[in-house]
């Protein structure tokens, strides 16, 4: 046995960051296990670490009896009083044993237990450290690819950046530095598993917290964030100080702060929107840069019907519906956008009973398009990727758009969970 273990314990605690109490417990457990094995579990033994001596002391406990029946666990009163004159029948007497006579197997057992305890303590330490960092950004180095997933070295631990959490068109090579968001930490049989993300909306929020001191200090708060990774994102901000403009704080001097975030996201466009407790006002801001004429709110269904000028319809919907889709995710409400002409015709149909009963299904699909100019129809056709639209007449455009509407491709109603790709 090693005569003084304090130096070794201190070194392991320093190098591995393991709790000293865990190491001491492991040493005591190892020595006790080896002793019980040697004596075939015939004795009552206890092991205690002596800090002053720097060694594990082994004690054998026997019960004081008048007549000994088990010599391994009992001692006569007469013999016991030679050790302790004040002992009485029924007392438990502890006697220190020589722990230096343990075999090489005992020492090896202790070593194995210590190694195991150190490994368990390291895993527990890593798990406790990173479970409190969920929602934070971490910096790491790409180590390797495993079936499309990235293994990232964070220093004390390796993390996983799954393929599904990687932004399209972002490529990494071994040795590249990567900044990612800790989305989940869980304990598995192989140890703690740290899951990273580059697509989570929290990435944008965390980056702004780094770049904008007012957010870090709690003066400005990010109330909501929505993004289509690699393309566009929207964040809603509010200020808790009337003298601080939340949007201006996030944009920074000459756009420096937002530009730093955009650079980190490899050019992803970011809209910064003032948050409002009034859902109608908030939705109007979320649809920027499109202008809104009026908003109808259905609190029960958590849906909004938003009317925009005819020339703002394409802008409000956005390329492939991206603008309204992000606005719906940001607000958490369903959004249905209509042009003023379409809304007026819908109101007229409701008042008159509507012509739907007397017209064919194809003609019914075209209601609302007739009132639009050829240029407005062309813009809608452009949004829906109608082939050959440049050479089409107004009637041809109406038929093409009506056909798509019948197939459900022209719906401008979007829910917050809409997962249509950008």
- The chain-wide mean pLDDT, for the chain, equals 82
**Given this model, what pLDDT does residue 180 score?**
93
**Given this model, what pLDDT does residue 214 score?**
94
Q: What is the pTM of this model?
A: 0.61
Q: Give yes or no for a contact between 331 and 283, defined as CB atoms under 8 angstroms apart.
A: yes
Phi, psi values for residue 184, rounded to 5°: -160, 145
Q: Tens of pLDDT along 406-418?
A: 554 334 555 665 4
**Given this model, what pLDDT does residue 108 score?**
64
What is the band of 357 on the pLDDT scale with cuts at 50, 70, 90? very low
**Given this model, what pLDDT does residue 422 score?**
34
**Given this model, what pLDDT does residue 421 score?**
38
Cα 12 to Cα 25, 47, 384, 386, distances in angstroms = 14, 21, 65, 69
Q: Please give the average per-residue pLDDT across 174-194, as a whole number.
A: 89
CA dist., res. 360 & res. 47, Å (int): 93
> Which position has the token pair 């964030």?
225
Q: Give yes or no for a contact between 398 and 366, defined as CB atoms under 8 angstroms apart.
A: yes
CA dist., res. 152 & res. 170, Å (int): 15
CA dist., res. 222 & res. 235, Å (int): 7
**Given this model, what pLDDT does residue 181 score?**
93
Give the pairing type, strands 269-274 and 232-239. parallel
Q: Please give the average per-residue pLDDT across 55-69, as a whole number.
A: 87
Q: Tens of pLDDT along 2-49?
A: 456 777 778 777 876 667 887 788 778 878 888 888 888 888 898 888
CA dist., res. 400 & res. 1, Å (int): 89
What is the band of 360 on the pLDDT scale with cuts at 50, 70, 90? very low
When mean pLDDT is compared across 63-72, 103-112, 213-222, the lowest value belongs to 103-112
Six token digits for residue 411: 């719906």
HSE (side-chain half, CA atoms, 13 Å) at 420: 17
Of 200, 193, 153, the residue nearest 172 (C-alpha): 153
What is the band of 356 on the pLDDT scale with cuts at 50, 70, 90? very low
Cα 182 to Cα 162, 217, 275, distances in angstroms = 12, 21, 26
Apex CA 313: angle with CA 308 and CA 316, to 5°? 85
CA dist., res. 23 & res. 287, Å (int): 60
Q: Is residue 290 pLDDT above 50, yes or no?
A: yes
Q: Is residue 126 pLDDT above 90, yes or no?
A: no
Q: Give yes or no for a contact between 133 and 149, defined as CB atoms under 8 angstroms apart.
A: no
**Given this model, what pLDDT does residue 257 score?**
93
**Given this model, what pLDDT does residue 221 score?**
94
Q: Is residue 345 pLDDT above 70, yes or no?
A: yes
CA dist., res. 132 & res. 319, Å (int): 39
| Cβ-defined contacts of 96-99 (< 8 Å, 24+) | 96/57, 96/58, 96/59, 97/35, 97/45, 97/58, 97/59, 97/60, 98/58, 99/1, 99/31, 99/35, 99/47, 99/55, 99/56, 99/57, 99/58
Q: Tens of pLDDT along 46-61?
A: 888 888 888 888 898 9
Q: Give yes or no for a contact between 400 and 380, defined as CB atoms under 8 angstroms apart.
A: no
> Which position has the token pair 């016991």?
80
Burial of residue 371 (CB within 10 Å: 0-12, 13-18, 19+) is middle
CA dist., res. 328 & res. 324, Å (int): 6
Q: Give yes or no for a contact between 367 and 345, defined as CB atoms under 8 angstroms apart.
A: yes
Concatenated DSSP letters of 210-251: HH-HHHHTTSEEEEEEEEETTTEEEEEEEESSTTS-HHHHHH
**Given this model, what pLDDT does residue 417 score?**
57
Out of 24-28, 278-282, 356-360, 387-391, give the one with best mean pLDDT: 278-282
Q: Is residue 106 pLDDT above 60, yes or no?
A: no
Please report the domains of the chain, with CATH numbers, ordered by start residue: 6-128 (3.30.1480.10), 133-199 (2.40.50.140), 210-275 (3.30.300.20), 278-422 (3.30.300.20)
CA dist., res. 53 & res. 96, Å (int): 14
**Given this model, what pLDDT does residue 24 score?**
82
**Given this model, what pLDDT does residue 101 score?**
62
Q: Is residue 139 pLDDT above 50, yes or no?
A: yes
**Given this model, what pLDDT does residue 111 score?**
66
Q: Is residue 124 pLDDT above 50, yes or no?
A: yes
Q: Give yes or no for a contact between 140 and 99, defined as CB atoms under 8 angstroms apart.
A: no
**Given this model, what pLDDT does residue 352 score?**
63
Q: Give yes or no for a contact between 230 and 244, defined as CB atoms under 8 angstroms apart.
A: no
Q: Tens of pLDDT along 193-243?
A: 999 999 999 999 999 999 999 999 999 999 999 999 999 999 999 999 999
Q: Tens of pLDDT along 274-285?
A: 999 999 999 999
Concatenated DSSP letters of 242-275: TTS-HHHHHH-GGGHHHHHHHHHTTT-EEEEEE-
Q: Give yes or no for a contact between 369 and 384, defined as CB atoms under 8 angstroms apart.
A: no
């Amino acid at each position: 046995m090693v005569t003084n273990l304090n130096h070794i314990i201190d070194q392991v605690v320093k190098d591995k960051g393991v709790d000293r109490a865990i190491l001491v417990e492991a040493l005591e457990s190892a020595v006790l296990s080896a002793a019980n094995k040697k004596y075939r579990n015939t004795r009552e033994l206890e092991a205690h670490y002596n800090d002053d001596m720097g060694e594990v002391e082994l004690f054998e406990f026997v019960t004081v009896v008048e007549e000994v029946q088990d010599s391994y666990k009992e001692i006569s009163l007469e013999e016991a009083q030679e050790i302790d004159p004040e002992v009485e029948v029924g007392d438990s007497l502890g006697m220190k044993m020589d722990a230096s006579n343990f075999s090489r197997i005992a020492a090896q057992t202790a070593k194995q237990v210590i190694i195991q305890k150190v490994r368990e303590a390291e895993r527990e330490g890593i798990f406790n450290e990173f479970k409190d960092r969920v929602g934070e950004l971490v910096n790491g180095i790409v180590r390797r690819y495993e079936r499309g997933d990235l293994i990232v070295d964070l220093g004390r631990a390796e993390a996983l950046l799954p393929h599904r959490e990687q932004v399209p068109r972002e490529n990494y090579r071994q040795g590249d530095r990567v900044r990612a968001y800790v989305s989940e930490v869980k304990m598995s049989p192989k140890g703690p598993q740290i899951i990273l993300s580059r697509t989570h909306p929290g990435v944008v929020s965390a980056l702004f917290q780094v770049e904008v001191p007012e957010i870090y200090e709690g003066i400005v708060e990010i109330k909501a964030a929505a993004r289509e990774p690699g393309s566009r994102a929207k964040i809603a901000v509010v200020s808790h100080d009337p003298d601080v403009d939340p949007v201006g704080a996030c944009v920074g001097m000459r756009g420096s702060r937002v530009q730093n975030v955009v650079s980190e996201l490899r050019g992803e466009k970011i809209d910064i929107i003032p948050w409002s407790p009034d859902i109608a006002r908030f939705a109007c801001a979320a649809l920027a840069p499109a202008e809104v004429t009026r908003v109808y709110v259905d609190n029960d269904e958590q849906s909004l019907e938003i009317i925009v000028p005819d020339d703002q319809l394409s802008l409000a919907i956005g390329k492939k519906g991206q603008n309204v889709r992000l606005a719906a995710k940001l607000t958490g409400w369903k959004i249905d956008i209509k042009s003023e002409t379409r809304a007026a015709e819908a109101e007229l149909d409701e008042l008159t009973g509507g012509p739907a009963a007397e017209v064919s299904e194809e003609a019914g699909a075209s209601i609302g398009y007739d009132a639009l100019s050829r240029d407005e129809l062309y813009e809608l056709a452009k949004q829906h990727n109608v082939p050959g639209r440049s050479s089409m007449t107004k009637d041809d455009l109406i038929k093409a758009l009506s056909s798509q509407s019948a197939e459900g491709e022209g719906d401008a109603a979007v829910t917050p969970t809409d997962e249509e790709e950008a």
